Amino acid sequence: MNSQEILNKLPYSKPFLFVDEISKIDENGVIGSYTLHEDSFFYKGHFKDHPVTPGVILTEVMAQIGLVCLGIYLLNDGFNSSSSIALTSTNIEFLKAVYPNEKVIVTSEKIYFRFGKLKCKVCMVNQEGVAVCTGDIAGMLIQNSKKNE
């Protein structure tokens, strides 16, 4: 499965899609990037006149790239339109502010993938290569089922 196929399977759309590119992916991890655009909805009112990216958005960027993209890759054909990967836990340390129009790069290393649960060590760096947040993220595969009535 290539990067574009993974991006096409992501269960998100704008304005809640936080993956621009996957530059590397294999069974052990993923590297991807996203640029935080100044007109994004979450900057309006978040530190008036001096917008800063909320930590929950940085966590979501790391989860979409570092957990969901990797999970789709690992599941390959086992991930379909009725599948999703639900976040189960995070332990993130925020080290530096991220501002509008910054590009961030997320590196994720698989800690384990078993019984439908994926746990990863993630690190986000800014354009200068300085770590802005780091930690662990875990999630599990959910098979959505719709009953015919």
- Domain hosting 74: range is 3-143
Q: What is the pLDDT of residues 102-138, one digit of tens each?
A: 999 999 999 999 988 999 999 999 999 999 999 999 9
The DSSP code for 62 is H
CA dist., res. 123 & res. 62, Å (int) = 8
What CATH number has the domain bearing residue 85?
3.10.129.10
Q: Identify whether 19 is part of a domain.
A: yes
| 46 part of the active site | yes
Q: Which of 1, 21, 46, 99 is catalytic?
A: 46
For 109, other C-beta atoms within 10 Å of its C-beta total 14
> Largest alpha-carbon pair distance within the chain?
55
The mean pLDDT of 37-47, rounded to a whole number, is 88
Q: With respect to residue 148, please indicate whether it lies within any of the assigned structural domains.
A: no
Task: For 86-105, write each residue's pLDDT tens digit.
Answer: 899 999 999 999 999 999 99
Tally of domains within the chain? 1
Please state the pTM of the whole predicted model.
0.91
Three-class DSSP category at 30: strand
In a domain, 75, yes or no: yes
Going from the C-alpha of 79 to that of each of 5, 44, 46, 101, 144, the distances in angstroms are 11, 35, 36, 32, 11
